Structure 1
Amino acid sequence: MKKTLILFTTLALMAFGYIGFTGDPVRIPASRQRLGNPKKGFEYLVYGDYVRSGIPLNLFRMGFTKYDSSLLPRTGINANIPYEFNALPTAKGGVIVAPNCLQCHAMPFDGKLVIGLGNANIDFTPGRGINAASMSMMERMLKNNFPQDYEAAKTFLNVSRTIAPDLVADVRGVNLADHLAALLVAHRDPQTFRWSDTPMLAKNHAVVPTDTPPWWLLKKKNAMFYNGFGRGDFGRFLMASNLLTTGDTLESRDVDAHMPDLLAYLYSLEAPKYPNAIDKPLAAKGKQVFEKSCASCHGTYGPNGKYPNLLIPGATIQTDSLLYSSNYSTPQFVNWFNRSWFRTGDHPAVLAPFNGYVAPPLDGIWITAPYLHNGSVPSLDALLNSSTRPRYWSRDFKKPQYNYGSPGWVYKAETAAGKTTIYNTDLPGYSNRGHYFGDALSNDQRKAVIEYLKTL
């Protein structure tokens, strides 16, 4: 009876796309993608209406008084808007300001905006993210005094107020995109995307932290997300921010039509080049070590480079498991997606969970600290030498400093946690364990590998 139950459970999981119960790496097959015009994709990214409700412009300017609009020069009503927001005209002749994709997928680095670089300074800690009380107050004020503005803002305000209490991180610098998606789908009908103030799915109380991966890696990958469970049409995943304010799937179809252009733009992005001098003889030695010790998972580089697209089982990689295990402990969110509008039509997408993580390409790894999927390791040196990883560490978010010699953030090892600016690896989902492969290398070999990684 027990064996029969195990067999039935395994078959059921496979039927819903759940894979990864073996100990061997799994190769991810490629999927056909829709590609359009990269120039149009950029325009839609920084001017587009994929989030169609937001804050009235006059109120937005009252709250955002200090920002550098020159980081992303734009024209028209977006000329003096922070890069992480898009200004949009309303049907009543007004203007609203809505968050755009660059909230998570761009970051100022040495005075320049790097589009595609994950925002390692993002802040979802208490008092810094969406504030439910503020949204309620703004909602009442607009409704009573500016009814036309309220109509354009009410969806954004209502959704934000509903999800705000649960969208909170313990530490600054981690992204809560997975948790945000789970909160949004819990309130939306999978076929129509219509919103319900009352959740239709049980909440997942595990808030999973991630470090936003760089966009320029996407063109090499056959699946999206750290656990490689985003299969099929990438455009369907790229438009997920539309779930924040969409009225129904009719609106979502319109947004979906722009996704081939957006994906083409993301495919056009290249990793930033390391700006300082590289010790070429040392890098050449590092390449030899890398190709012997690392390339089987992370691929080779250069004109004839190849990326294997492998999923590495959790038992092998040994990094924090909360991200992938939550797909099994709370399967209602995966099941929602796999029976939703996203899986319909001639370019469907599907979620296929796996007990482990993708070994990612490493292009531009010098600029993408912190490391591991949850951003728990501050530098490449610590990534390759686990004995040096700090249990608690902090960095300066106001005046960030980057270590170009051994790439990563300039950080301070702390003796205790407590502040939201201190990364605490004791917290669930925040562990810095795993990826111990560099421990087998000598100090000289690690130094050489790091020098080589600067060339990617």
Structure 2
Amino acid sequence: MRKLFVFLTLALLVACNTYQPLTGTVPDDADSWKTKVIPPSPQPQDGDPVAGLDYLIHGDYIGSGIPLEIMRKQSAKMDLDSLYPRNALNEGIPYYMTAFIAPNGTETVNGNCFTCHAGKVDGQLVLGLGNSFAEWEKSMVPMGAVMRMGMSLKYKRDDPETVAFEDFGKYFKKMAPTVKLNQPGANPAFRLAEACMMHRNPEDLTYVEEPEFDMWEYNIGTDTPPLWHVGKKNALYYTGTGRGAMSKLLLQASVLGIPDSSQTRKSEIAFRDVYAFLAQLEPPAYPGAIDAPLAREGEAIFNDKCSGCHGTYGTEETYPNKVVNVKVVKTDPLYADYIQQSAIVDWYNSSWFATSEPQSSFSPSYGYVAPPLDGIWASAPYLHNGSVPTVYELLKSDARPTRWTRDGKSTSYDHEKLGWQYDPEPKNAKWTFDTTVPGYGNGGHTFGDKLSEEERWAVVEYLKTL
């Protein structure tokens, strides 16, 4: 049962196969633009942020899961971090899990959005921070087998607990072989969605045994972005792929367990409140001392050199929502290539998500979105693939380590360079990031190389204030 618990805590964080390069994925217009501005889409303005947080931590948007009695037995053995108050049904349940009543009346539990989107930095657990200590490097297939065996031994086929588990069990079995990664801390959220959606009828999201499309064999993970950026963004995901109604785009974790689109219709309304919560979510303030005069110098440099893509901050904030062409930013292109060729784009654009109101769609660009930088001090590692351990090295490309090892402790924070303390001569394989692995290169974003060393440190100091 302990294996079952570990398995499920990983389940919503969203095979290490032989790498095969993509061919023919660079779009025809790749040489015709340097940056693109993503236009805004209408979003609900009447959501209730209090109700939104409550739905994130107590809602039934996953639809199915394991019996609550199993989780309660496991929770009794754990030291539980307290991140927010829980209702009676969820009392004593980890913050990254949610207990809810399944459609057949069974008390059920599954992961929630904060499995991936709550993390620790400088020893502090932060709501909305991407979890950079996720471990997806072991196959989930054996754990899935243990979970199904445990259910079959404890419950009969017609027991309500078995019925409430059925949808989650089916999609987990399909997803488990596809999400294994080869880098510590990376997250396979896009892959998880792909693996579940390919076994759903696009029109009503019901289960289909034969896949609707094929996936590329090689799995690329990404760094998990902070949720407090959502309110500024006109699109989601690193390539600006997710367009339209945020209440639809944010709901995609539901494909891991819902029976069909009837569940998502109800949840989409609640996710308008979720969007309201995320739109007002603030990053944590930098906890250390800040050299104010140096930060003011850095602000002037930042506004002159960096704000065109990353926006301005202070009393009158701006954010341009720009995608920067891969050929301009020159960061590792493989993830952008992958999204360009993924059949999930066509599936999504013919699915319930895109064809019902409010509409959303997938429209990938051959580039990466220049993100807002609120709370950048907390959100190491950097670049879309998490290949750069500190802000300083983000601004000085020749200082980036090829391989680097963290000790796996959230307290090992570098207040000088802003990011993770690391060993450039790795000894601990478990937390070693290797930038020579396909998809995880640390090149590109060399714009900071033009700064003098004094200017660079001034910008780092300014970024502490955001």
- Residue 366 of structure 1 is matched in structure 2 by 377
SS of corresponding position for 1:189:
coil
| Residues 69 and 297 of structure 1: CA distance in aligned 2, closer, same or farther (over 3 Å) | closer
Distance (whole Å) between structure 2 residues aligned to residue 412 and residue 247 of structure 1: 46
- Residue 395 of structure 1 is matched in structure 2 by 406
CA contact (8 A) 2:34 2:324 kept: yes
Distance (whole Å) between structure 1 residues aligned to residue 152 and residue 411 of structure 2: 38
Distance (whole Å) between structure 2 residues aligned to residue 384 and residue 111 of structure 1: 25
CA contact (8 A) 2:64 2:165 kept: yes
1:436 partner amino acid: T
- Residue 451 of structure 1 is matched in structure 2 by 461
2:196 to 184, 203, 221: 184
1:355 to 366, 380, 383: 366
Mapping of 1:377-456 within 5 angstroms?
377-398=388-409, 400-414=411-425, 419-456=429-466
Measured after TM superposition, the shift of residue 158 of structure 1 is: 2.1
CA contact (8 A) 1:54 1:156 kept: yes
Distance (whole Å) between structure 2 residues aligned to residue 152 and residue 81 of structure 1: 19
- Residue 173 of structure 1 is matched in structure 2 by 185
Measured after TM superposition, the shift of residue 400 of structure 1 is: 4.2
1:265 to 270, 277, 288: 277
Which digits, 9 at most, give the CA deviation of each residue in 1:320-357, with x for residues without a partner? 11221112233x11000111111123320111111111
SS of corresponding position for 1:350:
strand
Mapping of 1:221-236 within 5 angstroms?
221-236=233-248
Distance (whole Å) between structure 2 residues aligned to residue 247 and residue 19 of structure 1: 40
Measured after TM superposition, the shift of residue 197 of structure 1 is: 3.0
CA contact (8 A) 1:130 1:160 kept: no
Distance (whole Å) between structure 2 residues aligned to residue 246 and residue 148 of structure 1: 16
- The CA RMSD over aligned residues, in Å, is 2.2
Q: How many residues align?
A: 440
- Which runs of no fewer than 5 residues in structure 1 stay unpaired? 1-9
1:26 aligned to 2:26? no
Distance (whole Å) between structure 2 residues aligned to residue 50 and residue 107 of structure 1: 21
Measured after TM superposition, the shift of residue 118 of structure 1 is: 0.6
Which digits, 9 at most, give the CA deviation of each residue in 1:244-286, with x for residues without a partner? 1111111110111111100000011012111111101111111
CA contact (8 A) 2:194 2:344 kept: yes
TM-score (norm 1): 0.91
Distance (whole Å) between structure 2 residues aligned to residue 415 and residue 396 of structure 1: 10
- Residue 387 of structure 2 is matched in structure 1 by 376
2:443 partner amino acid: R
Measured after TM superposition, the shift of residue 112 of structure 1 is: 4.2
Which digits, 9 at most, give the CA deviation of each residue in 1:16-42, with x for residues without a partner? xx9755232111111100231101101
CA contact (8 A) 2:405 2:426 kept: no
Mapping of 1:10-89 within 5 angstroms?
22-35=32-45, 36-64=47-75, 65-89=77-101
1:194 aligned to 2:206? yes
| Residues 130 and 267 of structure 1: CA distance in aligned 2, closer, same or farther (over 3 Å) | farther
Measured after TM superposition, the shift of residue 384 of structure 1 is: 0.8
SS of corresponding position for 1:258:
helix
CA contact (8 A) 2:141 2:173 kept: no
| Residues 399 and 438 of structure 1: CA distance in aligned 2, closer, same or farther (over 3 Å) | closer
CA contact (8 A) 2:122 2:411 kept: no
Distance (whole Å) between structure 2 residues aligned to residue 188 and residue 209 of structure 1: 22
- Residue 267 of structure 2 is matched in structure 1 by 255
- Which runs of no fewer than 5 residues in structure 2 stay unpaired? 1-23
TM-score (norm 2): 0.89
Report the identity percentage. Answer: 39
1:297 aligned to 2:309? yes
- Residue 217 of structure 2 is matched in structure 1 by 205
Measured after TM superposition, the shift of residue 114 of structure 1 is: 1.3
Distance (whole Å) between structure 2 residues aligned to residue 385 and residue 20 of structure 1: 27
1:176 partner amino acid: P
1:341 to 342, 348, 352: 352
1:58 partner amino acid: E
SS of corresponding position for 1:439:
helix
SS of corresponding position for 2:136:
coil
1:99 aligned to 2:118? no
| Residues 132 and 138 of structure 1: CA distance in aligned 2, closer, same or farther (over 3 Å) | same
| Residues 73 and 127 of structure 1: CA distance in aligned 2, closer, same or farther (over 3 Å) | farther
SS of corresponding position for 2:116:
helix
2:383 partner amino acid: L
Which digits, 9 at most, give the CA deviation of each residue in 1:339-380, with x for residues without a partner? 111112332011111111111111110110000001110101
Mapping of 1:299-314 within 5 angstroms?
299-314=311-326
Distance (whole Å) between structure 1 residues aligned to residue 290 and residue 142 of structure 2: 43
SS of corresponding position for 2:55:
helix
